[in-house]
Structure 1
């Protein structure tokens, strides 16, 4: 009996992993939002966030989880952002250290800036978990557009992220 239960659980986990890999989210269209949110940690995320800003699809950008040692001028030089653009439109968030705290940092920034719609830019393999954490942190009236940056995720990254997604959803169901 126990073997059957374990086999059933494993098959469910394996089918879920297959879905996770085959159905990775993709880029969003040209929907406008008040702001774009980019959690640090993956190649192409910040560049895509700045592209959204430059294309006029959002007015403000929060880069969440920036290393506290990074200065605005260094960020601007690294990503070729004009000083005027940094001043008006780009906020560097330094308090987040993981996906859950990215969501908390974003929720505080959204409330302070009276944001009602935002575009989440993150890696395709990270999108579901990041969006889930945001859904739990943001008030229900805030609309989130998911804009996934395509990656060449390797098996180990995908496996780890799938398990993190399962843990995140379990924590959400448990009220954490």
Structure 2
């Protein structure tokens, strides 16, 4: 019985070439989008680092994560830029006395005008706990203190969670992350910006898909909030 001839390999090769070309095109477009997005993100961060001083607000909130953030937030409080300061995301083992010594601040100022949030576990938790604090205090506008590279993602989270009408960004800049006048990131700065850009994209995806982070605040804070609701 005669054998049927094998189909020509040419159509298969043609389909493979088309698939490879399509894959290369998708990768090129995605790479261009991500690269362009990163450049825009770096420019936005650089603009935050060059913002002038802020006007007075009802309160000030600083997100933990660096000594410079806390020092500059305390300076704003001492200068009368806000009536009270919330330090959000404090390590449970850190007391007000320790923070007053670290920032060279009179303990009396801590006792009268500083609130410590031990519950926030991440930026989402910072936004949630700040919202509770501001509503409890009746504050309508806040000065938000965090690092310049952290500010875009923080404002995104605060815009979704916090109900405070006005958030005034006050960006803290680390000199080792920028060159010259702060327009161009250093080698270390590029690494920090890339990591933060990835987190920003993840946040946008989370918003688009409706996924919620259930570990934003500690379980103790969640239980307290439910019992007071």
Alignment match, 2:181: none
Q: How far apart are 1:20 and its partner, in Å?
A: 1.5
Counterpart CA distance in 2 for 1:28 and 1:74 is 31
TM-score for the superposition, normalised by structure 1: 0.93
Q: How far apart are 1:50 and its partner, in Å?
A: 0.7
Local SS of the residue matching 2:127: helix
Q: Which runs of 5+ in 1 are unaligned?
A: none
Alignment match, 1:21: 42
User: Of the candidates 165, 185, 201, which is equivalent to residue 166 of structure 1?
Assistant: 201
Number of aligned residue pairs: 175
Q: Which has the larger radius of gyration?
A: 2
Q: How far apart are 1:136 and its partner, in Å?
A: 0.8
Alignment match, 1:85: 109
Are the equivalent residues in 2 in contact too, given 1:28–1:148 (CA < 8 A)? no
Q: Superposition RMSD on alpha carbons, in Å?
A: 1.4
- Say whether residues 1:150 and 2:165 are aligned partners: no
Are the equivalent residues in 2 in contact too, given 1:28–1:146 (CA < 8 A)? no
Higher relative contact order (CA 8 A, sep 6+): 1
Counterpart CA distance in 2 for 1:96 and 1:28 is 29
Counterpart CA distance in 2 for 1:143 and 1:23 is 19
Are the equivalent residues in 2 in contact too, given 1:36–1:118 (CA < 8 A)? yes
TM-score for the superposition, normalised by structure 2: 0.72
Residues 97-138 of structure 1: CA distance to partner in whole angstroms, max 9, x if unpaired? 111111111111111111110011100000000111111111
Are the equivalent residues in 2 in contact too, given 1:36–1:58 (CA < 8 A)? yes
Bigger Cα displacement from structure 2, 61-70 vs 12-21: 12-21
Q: How far apart are 1:29 and its partner, in Å?
A: 2.4
Residues 70-111 of structure 1: CA distance to partner in whole angstroms, max 9, x if unpaired? 111111111122122111111111001111111111111111
Are the equivalent residues in 2 in contact too, given 1:115–1:142 (CA < 8 A)? no
Are the equivalent residues in 2 in contact too, given 1:127–1:146 (CA < 8 A)? yes
Counterpart CA distance in 2 for 1:169 and 1:31 is 30
Counterpart CA distance in 1 for 2:59 and 2:209 is 30
Are the equivalent residues in 1 in contact too, given 2:54–2:168 (CA < 8 A)? no
Q: How far apart are 1:28 and its partner, in Å?
A: 4.4
User: Of the candidates 105, 126, 129, which is equivalent to residue 150 of structure 2?
Assistant: 126
